[in-house]
């Protein structure tokens, strides 16, 4: 038994690479967060610009609080230990109906971490299911690092349009069905993706990437991350909370973190630093998927 997860849930995560559904917010709280997101979108021509959707928790205090939510961190601590960093957040939104989809992939591919130890908390702010392009995962595929290729399809929401170069037995995949306020936790090596949203509504998830504080970026590169629990191990430079929504200091700090992170991971500037928005690497830590609001 962990702080939040049962022994069985921890065993499920270790074996399958995913555990769900876990209730984090009440339906009313999830609705409140969705309304807060949609208010920001309304103030920005109806969609979150990609630059803003990379680590938005550095710009919006309510998201800073969300990445520190005790119920999320207790569950993540059960899997990764007591010292935790958040090294990426982004909304992953599919407005329906649309052809946009996420290819089968492993998250670890472009993260450049010294070890594939991480957990993504995917928190649903709308229902996410088979009707609206909910995630699908291949339990037990979290054993090895697989090669990927760029599938070249503009409908692929991943910034590098990466696709695993292995036969995916879709019949063995499971649907990650979540109600608003529930989350799934997945391993960086699990093969997963999601089909188009054929419904008329929006599918909204907030993805939070956590790592144990004792791992770093490969090649001794130093990146930025948010210490969310426990103590730091000197592997990342630490990010600061936003004093208020889009406070000028927060905007500067956010831009610095994103620019630096993109340079570390991709060897080039990131969103908000002159890169074309459509090039924002969708599955990079802290990077904006090319999907928000489309």
What 3-state DSSP class applies to 84?
strand
What is the C-alpha to C-alpha distance for residues 229 and 213, in angstroms, rounded to an integer? 9
Q: In angstroms, what is the minimal distance from the CB of 129 to ligand AKG?
A: 12
Q: Kindly state whether residue 87 participates in binding ligand AKG, applying the rule CB under 6 A.
A: no
Residue 134 vs 242, nearer CB to ligand AKG: 134
Residue 86 vs 255, nearer CB to ligand AKG: 86
Q: In angstroms, what is the minimal distance from the CB of 6 to ligand AKG?
A: 23
Q: Which residue, 99, 121, 150, 98, is CA-closest to 281?
A: 150
Q: In angstroms, what is the minimal distance from the CB of 187 to ligand AKG?
A: 10
Near ligand AKG in 215-274, by CB under 6 A: none
CA angle, corner 67, sides to 26 and 271, nearest 5? 120
Rounded to the nearest 5°, which phi and psi values hold at 21?
Answer: -85, 150
Q: In angstroms, what is the minimal distance from the CB of 102 to ligand AKG?
A: 4
Q: In angstroms, what is the minimal distance from the CB of 189 to ligand AKG?
A: 11
Residue 69 vs 192, nearer CB to ligand AKG: 192
What is the C-alpha to C-alpha distance for residues 216 and 113, in angstroms, rounded to an integer? 6
94 sits in which H/E element? strand 84-95
What is the C-alpha to C-alpha distance for residues 280 and 250, in angstroms, rounded to an integer? 20
Near ligand AKG in 184-213, by CB under 6 A: 192, 194, 205, 207
The residue with tokens 């939040």 is: 4
Q: How many residues bind ligand AKG (CB under 6 A)?
A: 11
Residue 144 vs 248, nearer CB to ligand AKG: 144
Residue 226 vs 283, nearer CB to ligand AKG: 283
Instruction: Mention every residue, 6+ apart, whose C-beta is less than 8 A from residue 134.
Output: 128, 175, 176, 177, 178, 194, 203
Answer for the pair 197, 203: CB distance below 8 angstroms, yes or no: yes
Q: Which residue, 140, 146, 142, is CA-closest to 165?
A: 146
DSSP code, position 278: G
Q: In angstroms, what is the minimal distance from the CB of 7 to ligand AKG?
A: 26
Near ligand AKG in 273-292, by CB under 6 A: 283
Q: Which two tokens stand for residue 183?
A: 């989350």
Q: In angstroms, what is the minimal distance from the CB of 279 to ligand AKG?
A: 18
Q: Which residue, 253, 220, 239, 271, is CA-closest to 68?
A: 239
Near ligand AKG in 88-147, by CB under 6 A: 92, 102, 107, 120, 122, 135
Residue 33 vs 253, nearer CB to ligand AKG: 33
Residue 5 vs 176, nearer CB to ligand AKG: 176
Chain residues binding ligand AKG by CB under 6 A are 92, 102, 107, 120, 122, 135, 192, 194, 205, 207, 283
């Amino acid at each position: 038994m962990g702080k939040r997860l049962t022994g069985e849930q921890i065993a499920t995560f270790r074996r399958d690479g995913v555990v769900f559904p876990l209730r984090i917010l009440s339906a009313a709280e999830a609705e409140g967060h969705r309304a807060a997101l949609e208010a920001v979108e309304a103030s920005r021509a109806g969609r979150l610009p990609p630059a803003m959707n990379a680590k938005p928790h550095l710009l919006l205090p309510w998201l800073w609080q969300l990445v520190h939510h005790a119920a999320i961190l207790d569950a993540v601590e059960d899997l990764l230990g007591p010292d935790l960093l958040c090294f990426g957040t982004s909304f992953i939104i599919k407005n329906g109906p649309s052809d946009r989809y996420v290819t089968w992939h492993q998250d670890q591919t472009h993260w450049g971490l010294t070890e594939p130890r991480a957990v993504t908390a995917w928190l649903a702010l709308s229902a996410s299911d088979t009707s609206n392009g909910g995630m699908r995962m291949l339990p037990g595929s979290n054993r090895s690092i697989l090669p990927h290729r760029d599938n070249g399809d503009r409908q692929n929401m991943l910034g590098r349009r990466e696709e695993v170069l292995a036969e995916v037995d879709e019949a063995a995949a499971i649907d990650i069905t979540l109600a608003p306020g529930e989350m799934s936790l997945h391993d960086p090596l699990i093969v997963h993706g999601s089909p188009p949203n054929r419904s008329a509504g929006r599918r909204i998830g907030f993805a939070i990437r956590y790592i144990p504080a004792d791992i770093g970026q490969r090649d001794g590169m130093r990146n930025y991350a948010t210490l969310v629990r426990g103590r730091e191990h000197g592997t990342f430079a630490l990010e600061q909370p936003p004093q208020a929504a889009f406070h000028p200091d927060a905007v500067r700090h956010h831009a610095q973190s994103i620019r630096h992170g993109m340079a570390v991971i991709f060897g080039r500037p990131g969103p908000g630093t002159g890169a074309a928005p459509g090039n924002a690497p969708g599955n990079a830590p802290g990077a904006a998927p090319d999907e928000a609001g489309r």
